[in-house]
Structures are given as C-alpha cells and as structure tokens.
Amino acid sequence: MTEARIARVALPGPLDELFDYLPGVMGQPEPGTRVLVPFGRSRRVGILVEYAAECGCDPSRLKPVERALDPRPLFGPTDLTLIRWAARYYRHPLGDALFTALPVRLRESGPLLASGVAGIRLTAAGAALTPAELARAPRQQALLARLLESPEGLAQRNLADELGGITSALRALRAKGLVESCRLEPGAVASADSSAVLAAPELNPEQAAALAAVSEALGGFRPFLLDGITGSGKTEVYIRAIAEVVAAGGQALVMVPEIGLTPQLRERFRTRLPGPLAVLHSALAAGERERAWHQAASGEAPVVLGTRSAVFVPLPRLALIVVDEEHDPSLKQQEGFRYSARDLAVRRAQLVGCPVVLGTATPALETLHNVTAGRYHRLALPRRAGGARPPTINLLDIRNQPLRAGLSPVLRERMHAALATGGQVLLLLNRRGYAPVLTCHSCGWVGVCPDCDARMTLHLGERRLWCHHCGRIESVPRDCPQCGGPDLRMLGRGTERLEEGLTELFPGVRIARIDRDSTRRKGELTRLLAAVHRGEVQILLGTQMLAKGHDFPGVTLAGVIDLDHALYASDFRAPERTAQLIVQVAGRAGRAERAGEVVLQTRHPEHPLLQSLLREGYGGFARAALAEREAAQLPPFTYLALLRAEAPEQEAALAFLAAARAHAEPLCSPEVELLGPVPAPLSRRAGRHRAQLLVQCAQRPALQHFLAHWTPTLRALRRIKGVRWSLDVDPQEMV
C-alpha cells in the first residue's frame, strides 16, 4: 500500500469532480465505503471511490475524513466500476449516480442493516425453561420447543413457514426475556423454500438448444439475443439457466420493463427458484426496497428481479444477467441520470465476466445490428408453445371507405364474423378521451391549452377539457367562448367515442374499455382483465396498455384503428415502435384450434416498411428498416447525443443552445456533426419553450471524446435566465 494516500470521495449533488481528503483516523476502508466528511461549513455523507498518491489541488486545503460509516464497502469493485463507467458515459455526476443506486436511508448516515438473516434464539433464561411451563400458551410452547433443538438460532422466516403465525407468540416470549433476535449466516440457514421448488416442464428442442448455449457460456462474458416469438417460452429458458447458476452458488439478475413486473411473474420465479427472491420495483415502499437491496447486496438472495434501476444493485456473486423485453423504451431512464439499463446490463456482464441474455419477440434495431456485427449471438425460439398457429396480418386500405365509428366496412364485417364464432375482438386506438379537438363551427375557435402548443382533449366521462401534455383541466364550455355561438363540434375520435360508436354498431354485445381513464381506480384493471378472461366481454377496446404484457387467449381478431398515427409520428423510431406494436398485438391473438387475425387500418398501405413486415415478418421489416437507417445515417449506424433546453422564453432556450454550439465547434473532430438548435416538435409545454441541439457521430469513441470536453464547458456557460438543460446520450425519444 502506498504511504500518505489521498482518499478520493464522491459527494451527492451535481458535483462533477471527486473531492480529496486525508484518510484521517478512519484507517484504510475499501473503496465503496460511505464516509462522513467535512464539506464547506457542514458535513456530508460521501462515498470513498479510490485512493490516490497525490491530490490535484493545493495539499494545504485538504481536510481529514471524519470517519467511515460502514464496516465493509457497500459497493464491490465491479459494482463501483460499472457506476463510474455509466456516470462517465452518460455524462452524469458520479456522486449523484452512486447515491441514486443506494436505498434512501443509506444516502444519509443511517447504519447498514446487520448482515445475515434475521434470526431468533433462546436467551439463557429461555434455555433453562422447560416447555411444559408454558402449557397455557401452546404457540409459545411450540416455538420454544423448536428453538431448544437449535441453540444457535433459527431464521425468523423459516420459523414462520414451519409454524404459521408467530408474531404475537414471539412478542410475548421476547417480553418475558426468553428469546432474543440474532443474525445468522445466510449459508447456515436451511432453505425452507427449496422444498417448494416446482418441477420444471419439458423443453422443446429450440428451448433446449438456447438453454445449452447459455449454460455453456457461464463463467465468461457473452451477450445473447433470445429472439423468441410471444408465447414461445422465453421465461422458461431464463428460469432454467438461472436455476443452474443458483445451484452453482451464483446470483442472477433479471430486469423487466415496469409493466412486466407482475405478481404472476414474481410468483413464477418464487415457485420455481430456490432461496429468497429479491424484488426491486420503484413502486415499493422504502423499507421493502431496502430489505430487497440488502438481500441482493449481501448475497443472501440468489435471484434479483427488478426494473431498470436494479442494474446498479451490488451483487457479490453475479453470474448471469437477463433483460426481458429488451426493446422496451422504458429500460431507458427519461430524466436525470439517463442510462439505458439494457446497454448497462451488457457492460456489467462484460465487467463481471458472465453471459447476458436479451430476450424479446421484437428486437431493437440496435440489438439486431449487434447480432449482424457478430457481437451478440442470436438464439431463436420460432415456435409457439402449445402449437398455436401464427395469426394472419392484413392491411386494410381505408381511403374512400365509408367509416362508421372509425371502422371500415371490412373491419366491421370481420368483427361480426369473429363474434359469430364465439371469438373475442381486441381494438387498439392510442388516443384517450372522447375527441382530441373541440371547435366552433361558426367562428373556427379551437380549444387549445394556454400553456402548451396543443389542443385540449375532450373527456365526456369526466365532463372536462384536458391537456394531455401538461395536465391542465378546464370545464367544457356550453357555447363558443369566442363568438358565443352554440355550434361546438367534436372532431376526431378517442377511446370514449369509439366505445360509444361500438355500442350503437354492435347492440347487445358486451364491450369493455381499458385505458388510463377507465382503470384509474385501484384494482379496476385486474377486474376488467378477469372479466375478459371469463369471456364476459366480447369486444375489448383500449390504448397501447392492452398490447403490453397481457395475454388474451380468447381473442381471435385484433384491429388497429389508426395505424398511421403511430407510423407517422415525428420520431425516427416511429416505424420500429409501430412494427413492434403490431407483432406484440399479433402475438396475443389466436390459439391452437384457430389462427387469429390482425387487421390494420391505414391510408398508406403501400408504406414499404409495412409491406416488408407483412411479407417477411419482423425480421424482414428489420432488414428494410436498418437499410433506411443506414441510408439516413441514423442509429445504429451513427451515435447521437441530444442537448435539450427549456425556458419561459423561446429565445432564451435557443440562445443557450447557440452558445453551447459555439463552444462545441472548436472541439468537434471532423466526424462530429452538430444539428440545430431547433425548437422541439411540441415547442411549448407547460408554459416552457423547448429546443434542442443534436450531436451526431459515426463513431462512439469520437462522440464520447467530444462530450467529455464539451460538458464541462456547458456547466461553465453563463446562466441565461430561466434556462434548464439536460444532455441525453443515446436518446430513445427525440421529442
């Protein structure tokens, strides 16, 4: 060890640099340990990141660390390396990145929970007692008897599993001083759960081949794309690979998009895999989250199931990473620390030296490009379990068609046919409310949001005008606010209006609408889905909510009412998202005895990407879309960073970006291109004007190099009144 080492500490907040301290009396704790340090005239909790031989600043200014807060580091070396890498790559302050990876209580100086498993053991008084003396309290007696057999103590959760409700009996025994809490080594605790592991179902040959490829790769870095159509049994492959890892004493990390972390998935993992399952979800209460974090970080939980933030959870024996629905945009954080959990999962696997499995039915074009380049290995599951046949997909040209309730005659006829044979119908319309526009027929007045460049949507159910961009609510005027005329008209169609139209077109047919409005009440979504599954609903309509995660085995016809709306959105990823939506919807229609049917209403049936999707499936679509991306020099053939700025005045936002651009130009190597500044697609939102400056570069290292020099100058830039800005590396949404 070097003498006179300097401790380099990361502090919370947007502080870009590490701060140097003298080790003081804290000894030589390992990097990853929390330390209490003097900072300005206060004290802060920081994280010791590394030691250095000398400091970058005036040594006389160095202050000593007050003390170390943890007996052992919270982050292991690779956990720390990953977060440092991520902070640098996404140009985010390291302290902030480290602290967001910690449970809330540990961001303060709160103590680390005792390690090991919560256990109960007898006190000396308890050991001296004979159970007969508790004859009047049979539960306490049973507990005491069981504890007498294991003087070293028993895990509280095993006792609960064995004896049932023990809380009140425990409380009584504790009050009498007969038992006490203790901590047990995770390895020493008999795993009561392991007996509950369910038998594994038979794998089909493709599943077996995928599993074999992954298990063969264990012990070294290897990224896989598990390209499996909906219902092909990807989860079964994950579970079998994880079981293997856990049996060998390793830990597995599984990440899913927010909507995918359902109770059913948790249950499936819990019943099929041994040991406690650590579930990390943003909706968890702080205490539950901290407990799960602890089980993961201490190594007690062999399996961690979580959403994107789980990518940073310390895992001492990590041996396998799974990212399910890897194409899902929610794996990228959209504010603050804008990391991609999928990309970081691959990076983490590389650092740890373990396989990573990216699973999906509709791979992101970036991922497919990595397969083509030979960086990822593709494993295919082309068959639906249970032999269900793939649905047919039809484009329906609705130009010059007489639409009723937004439905063309052909779609209505297909709906009648499906209903007549006892099938259910699923209709997707990605627009909530009754009508997206309210206008005056006499003077042309339109109900616009005063704070956004957007129309207010009419919601008839709640009788209000609602801006979907800022949440502003206004009452529905009876007469025109401008001319006083009575002829207000509702233009366009949302799910409410579609439901109304369907009621008229299909009298007597049971209809359910599922969107954010109809499912706001807790439990309502579950109730509606259950009704669908019991067959009490014949037509199911709703927004994209319906296309994600839920299975509808009774649905034989699925219709997308307005495909063009999704296809022609301003984002260059719109066609990719639309193709993914179509394939996901198709995956939920049809069953073994009857192939399902998907109908897409469009005014652009000649769209070349749609044509490739229909003729050659998602793979064909992806090839065509990648060719377009290459021609347009868009990702994955180039790399992007997006500087966004917003301010109460448009000029301020643009001025900031112009200054940013001026600072960028001298730093640009020839391959770095700057585009903008330009106003954002929805320029004004919630009273703030938004603009953006795009940085494009054919090579990732050159872009990284540029950003490393540019971002410090952005922070030093003279502040312009009211401007807030953020940098998004590898942006997912360009809006």
Which residues of the chain form contacts with DNA (CB under 7 A)? Answer: 13-15, 17-21, 37-42, 55-57, 61-63, 718-719, 721
* Contact partner, 177, from DNA, Zn ion, none, Cβ < 5-8 Å per class: none
Q: Is 474 in the site for Zn ion (CB under 5 A)?
A: no
* Contact partner, 478, from DNA, Zn ion, none, Cβ < 5-8 Å per class: none
Q: Is 480 in the site for Zn ion (CB under 5 A)?
A: yes
Q: Is 449 in the site for Zn ion (CB under 5 A)?
A: yes
- Tell me whether residue 27 or residue 701 sits nearer to DNA (CB atom): 27
Single out the residue of 7, 229, 452, 532 in contact with Zn ion (rule: CB under 5 A).
Answer: 452
- Whether the CB-CB separation of 625 and 587 falls below 8 Å is answered with no
Single out the residue of 139, 183, 412, 472 in contact with Zn ion (rule: CB under 5 A).
Answer: 472
* Contact partner, 160, from Zn ion, DNA, none, Cβ < 5-8 Å per class: none
* Contact partner, 482, from Zn ion, DNA, none, Cβ < 5-8 Å per class: Zn ion
Q: Is 599 in the site for Zn ion (CB under 5 A)?
A: no
What stretches of 97-187 adopt beta strand conformation (E)?
Answer: 117-122, 154-155, 179-184
> Coil, strand, or helix at residue 504?
helix
Single out the residue of 80, 470, 532, 540 in contact with Zn ion (rule: CB under 5 A).
Answer: 470
**Closest distance to Zn ion from the beta carbon of 431 (Å):** 16
Report how far apart, in Å, the C-alpha atoms of 382 and of each of 9, 51, 207, 234, 388 are: 50, 51, 10, 11, 12
Write out the binding residues for Zn ion, residues 484-513 only, by CB under 5 A. Answer: 485
- Tell me whether residue 319 or residue 470 sits nearer to Zn ion (CB atom): 470
Instruction: Provide the β-strand partners of residue 724.
Output: 646
Give the Cα-Cα-Cα angle 544, 342, 378 (nearest 5 degrees).
Answer: 95
Q: In 218-262, which residue ranges form alpha helices assigned H by DSSP?
A: 234-247
Structure tokens at 55: 């400091």
> Coil, strand, or helix at residue 422?
coil
- Tell me whether residue 26 or residue 449 sits nearer to Zn ion (CB atom): 449
* Contact partner, 710, from DNA, Zn ion, none, Cβ < 5-8 Å per class: none
**Closest distance to DNA from the beta carbon of 13 (Å):** 4
Which residues, including other chains, have CB under 8 Å from residue 76's CB and lie 6 or more apart?
32, 314, 316
Q: Exposed, middle or buried, 508 (CB in 10 Å: 0-12/13-18/19+)?
A: exposed
Q: How far apart are CA 627 and CA 629, in angstroms?
A: 5
- Tell me whether residue 465 or residue 480 sits nearer to Zn ion (CB atom): 480
Stretch of 5-13, 180-188, 320-328, 483-491 lying at the interface with Zn ion (CB under 5 A): 483-491
Sheet containing 539-542: give its strands across: 392-397, 597-602, 555-560, 424-428, 539-542, 511-514
Report how far apart, in Å, the C-alpha atoms of 279 and of each of 156, 303, 425, 622, 702 are: 19, 9, 35, 34, 38
**Closest distance to DNA from the beta carbon of 44 (Å):** 8
- What are the helix and strand counts (H, E) for the chain? 21, 31
- Whether the CB-CB separation of 235 and 201 falls below 8 Å is answered with no
- Tell me whether residue 47 or residue 440 sits nearer to Zn ion (CB atom): 440
Residue 449 labelled as part of a binding site: yes
> Coil, strand, or helix at residue 713?
helix
> Coil, strand, or helix at residue 45?
strand
Residue 470 labelled as part of a binding site: yes
153, HSE (Cβ side, Cα atoms, 13 Å)? 22
Q: Is 85 in the site for Zn ion (CB under 5 A)?
A: no
**Closest distance to DNA from the beta carbon of 9 (Å):** 8
Q: How far apart are CA 611 and CA 615, in angstroms?
A: 6
- Tell me whether residue 478 or residue 718 sits nearer to DNA (CB atom): 718
* Contact partner, 467, from Zn ion, DNA, none, Cβ < 5-8 Å per class: Zn ion
Residue 443 labelled as part of a binding site: yes
- Tell me whether residue 522 or residue 719 sits nearer to DNA (CB atom): 719
Structure tokens at 541: 């309509």
* Contact partner, 15, from Zn ion, DNA, none, Cβ < 5-8 Å per class: DNA
Q: Exposed, middle or buried, 726 (CB in 10 Å: 0-12/13-18/19+)?
A: middle
**Closest distance to DNA from the beta carbon of 64 (Å):** 8
Q: Is 683 in the site for Zn ion (CB under 5 A)?
A: no
Residue 55 labelled as part of a binding site: no
**Closest distance to Zn ion from the beta carbon of 502 (Å):** 29
**Closest distance to Zn ion from the beta carbon of 681 (Å):** 15
C-alpha Rg value of the chain to the nearest Å: 29
> Coil, strand, or helix at residue 53?
coil
* Contact partner, 472, from Zn ion, DNA, none, Cβ < 5-8 Å per class: Zn ion
Single out the residue of 114, 483, 632, 698 in contact with Zn ion (rule: CB under 5 A).
Answer: 483
* Contact partner, 719, from DNA, Zn ion, none, Cβ < 5-8 Å per class: DNA
- Tell me whether residue 56 or residue 471 sits nearer to DNA (CB atom): 56
Q: Which residue has the tokens 């025994």?
A: 173
- Whether the CB-CB separation of 194 and 158 falls below 8 Å is answered with no
* Contact partner, 68, from Zn ion, DNA, none, Cβ < 5-8 Å per class: none
Residue 467 labelled as part of a binding site: yes
Report how far apart, in Å, the C-alpha atoms of 54 and of each of 62, 439, 455 are: 11, 69, 60
Structure tokens at 365: 């074009």
Closest by Cα among 715, 711, 702, 694 to 642: 694
Residue 440 labelled as part of a binding site: yes
**Closest distance to Zn ion from the beta carbon of 482 (Å):** 5
* Contact partner, 465, from Zn ion, DNA, none, Cβ < 5-8 Å per class: none
* Contact partner, 136, from DNA, Zn ion, none, Cβ < 5-8 Å per class: none
Q: How far apart are CA 229 and CA 587, in angstroms?
A: 7
- Tell me whether residue 56 or residue 249 sits nearer to DNA (CB atom): 56
**Closest distance to DNA from the beta carbon of 14 (Å):** 4
Neighbours of 218 (CB within 10 A): 16
Counting every residue, how long is the chain? 735
> Coil, strand, or helix at residue 210?
helix
**Closest distance to DNA from the beta carbon of 721 (Å):** 6
Q: Residues annotated in the binding site for Zn(2+), as ranges?
A: 440, 443, 449, 452, 467, 470, 480, 483
User: Which residues of the shown chain bind Zn ion in the complex (CB under 5 A)?
Assistant: 440, 442-443, 445, 449, 451-452, 467, 469-470, 472, 480, 482-483, 485
Q: Residues annotated in the binding site, as ranges?
A: 440, 443, 449, 452, 467, 470, 480, 483
